[in-house]
């Protein structure tokens, strides 16, 4: 089966029309995004006390995990997990 690659083939024109339609759609979407939606947005006034407490609690928990998950020889975070017995555990031995 031979494909006609001339610009006059119906298939080529369909592709050109599709590409032009996509380009026009993206241009309009970008214009709308840059222009804004017209919906007013309230000014950001910071986190509430409850949000700050939650964020700090999450940060503490993260640091606690990170301090335990360090290779004592290299003082770097571990990059893998080995379960009891490691690769030579009795479950894997034949």
Which pLDDT score is estimated for 72?
80
Distance separating alpha carbons of residues 35 and 28, to the nearest angstrom: 10
What are residue 76's DSSP bridge partners?
71
In this predicted structure, the answer to whether residue 26 has a pLDDT above a threshold of 80 is yes
Burial code (b: 16+ CB inside 10 Å, e: under 16) for 77-88 equals eeeeeeeeeeee
More confident residue, 9 or 19: 19
User: Rounded to whole angstroms, what are the CA distances from 50 to 44, 59, 61?
Assistant: 16, 14, 17
Distance separating alpha carbons of residues 81 and 65, to the nearest angstrom: 14
Q: Is the pTM value of this prediction over 0.75? A: no
In this predicted structure, the answer to whether residue 49 has a pLDDT above a threshold of 90 is yes
């Amino acid at each position: 089966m031979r494909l006609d690659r001339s610009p006059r083939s119906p298939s080529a024109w369909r592709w050109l029309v599709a590409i032009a339609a996509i380009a026009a759609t993206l241009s309009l979407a970008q214009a709308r995004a840059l222009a804004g939606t017209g919906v007013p947005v309230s000014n950001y006034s910071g986190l509430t006390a409850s949000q700050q407490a939650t964020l700090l609690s999450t940060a503490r928990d993260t640091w606690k995990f990170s301090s335990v998950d360090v290779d004592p020889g290299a003082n770097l975070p571990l990059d893998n997990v080995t379960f009891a017995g490691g690769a030579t555990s009795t479950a894997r031995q034949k």
